[in-house]
């Protein structure tokens, strides 16, 4: 429940920050961001339009974005070795993210309380906006992959790697003086081991 008395922001709490109509030029509101609204901690306070439809929608979109960023911050990130492979994995993550947002949105939409006026409706609008952005990003990444013809490029990379391995095996066999049937057998053993290595 929001306090009825204006609360000034301290201890690092975000401020409303709206330009004051009274006071010194350039002076901004020091009340807690979102004071007197259903989005305390984000956006304008009640005295500076925080309860208007536009401000509420903006604040709820920011809250949804903050929640999404906190989820993304917990992802385990490894350095990129192969950009094409990384792009393919990114596409998988983007699609998974879009499907996750979709399932959350479907669950929330089923809750009729969310369709009633007030905070529920604004939060639902914010989550729809988040879903639409996720769809846009999914389309962008998948379109990029289609333009790059990434599957063929990855296949060519794999072929080049196989050629390099074969060249290395032949160089080792030649250096050791292994020829004839022994060299053929060594290549067969190497091929079996390479097939056993997961992609």
**In a shared domain, residues 189 and 123:** no
**In a shared domain, residues 99 and 160:** no
**In a shared domain, residues 65 and 120:** yes
Chain segment 71-128, per-residue pLDDT in tens: 877 877 666 667 777 778 778 888 888 888 887 777 766 664 445 555 566 666 777 7
**The predicted structure's pLDDT at residue 114:** 47
Q: What is the pLDDT confidence band of residue 1, given thresholds at 50, 70 and 90? A: very low
- The neighbouring-strand residues paired with 31 are 8
Supply the DSSP symbol for 14: P
Chain segment 27-77, per-residue pLDDT in tens: 888 888 988 898 888 999 998 999 998 888 888 888 888 888 888 778 776
**In a shared domain, residues 137 and 172:** no
**In a shared domain, residues 57 and 46:** no
Q: Which residues does 194 contact at the CB level (< 8 Å), separation at least 6?
A: 162, 165
| 156-172 mean pLDDT | 76
Which of 113-117, 123-127, 167-171, 194-198 is predicted least confidently?
A: 113-117
- Structural domain boundaries, residue 191: 152-196
**In a shared domain, residues 34 and 18:** yes
**In a shared domain, residues 122 and 67:** yes
Tally of domains within the chain = 3
Q: What is the pLDDT confidence band of residue 181, given thresholds at 50, 70 and 90? A: confident
Nearest to 130 by CA among 53, 40, 58, 38: 58
**In a shared domain, residues 67 and 131:** yes
Predicted TM-score of the model (pTM)? 0.40
């Amino acid at each position: 429940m929001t306090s009825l008395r204006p609360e000034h922001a301290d201890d690092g709490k975000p401020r409303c920050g709206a330009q004051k109509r009274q006071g010194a030029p350039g002076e901004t509101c020091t009340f807690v961001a979102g004071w007197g609204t259903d989005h305390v901690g984000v956006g304008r306070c009640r005295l500076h339009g925080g309860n208007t439809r536009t401000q509420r929608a903006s604040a709820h979109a920011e809250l949804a974005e903050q929640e999404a960023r906190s989820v993304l911050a917990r992802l385990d990130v490894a350095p990129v070795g192969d950009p094409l492979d990384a792009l393919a994995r990114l596409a998988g993550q983007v699609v998974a993210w879009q499907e996750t947002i979709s399932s959350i949105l479907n669950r929330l939409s089923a809750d009729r309380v969310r369709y009633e006026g007030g905070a529920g409706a604004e939060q639902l609008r914010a989550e729809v906006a988040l879903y639409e952005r996720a769809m846009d990003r999914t389309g962008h990444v998948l379109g990029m992959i289609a333009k790059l013809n990434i599957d063929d490029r990855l296949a060519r990379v794999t072929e080049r790697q196989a050629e390099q391995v074969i060249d290395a095996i032949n160089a080792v066999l030649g250096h050791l003086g292994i020829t004839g049937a022994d060299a053929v057998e060594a290549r067969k053993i190497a091929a079996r081991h390479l097939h056993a290595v997961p992609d």
